[in-house]
Amino acid sequence: MPRSKSKRSRYTPPPPKKAPPSPPWVPALMFTGFGLGVLIIILNYLGLLPGGAGNGYLFLGLGFITAGFLLATQYR
């Protein structure tokens, strides 16, 4: 007698493997990027950087902050 469809075993995929925890340099570099970016933007605003206030320093600060955010997405 054939087996009914309800009694057939269904395929259950194996549970996903957990990713290993991040190395300790990831959060250190992340917070360094945030802090350095904010510091550069503040020093640019105050005009304390060589060459006076300029867009280059602003973009550099935003680049460090962006790098911090990119590292934050990799942190486990």
CA 15 centroid distance within chain: 25
- This prediction has a pTM of 0.75
Q: Is the CB of residue 23 less than 8 Å from the CB of residue 58? A: no
Tokens of 16: 């996903």
Helix or strand run (H / E) with residue 67: helix 55-74
- How many whole angstroms from its chain centre is CA 54? 27
- Give the pLDDT band of residue 1 (cuts 50, 70, 90): low
pLDDT digits (tens, 9 = 90+) for 16-73: 999 899 999 999 999 999 999 999 999 999 999 998 888 999 999 999 999 999 999 9
58: its two tokens = 């602003």
Q: Say how far residue 61 (Cα) sits from the centre of its chain.
A: 16
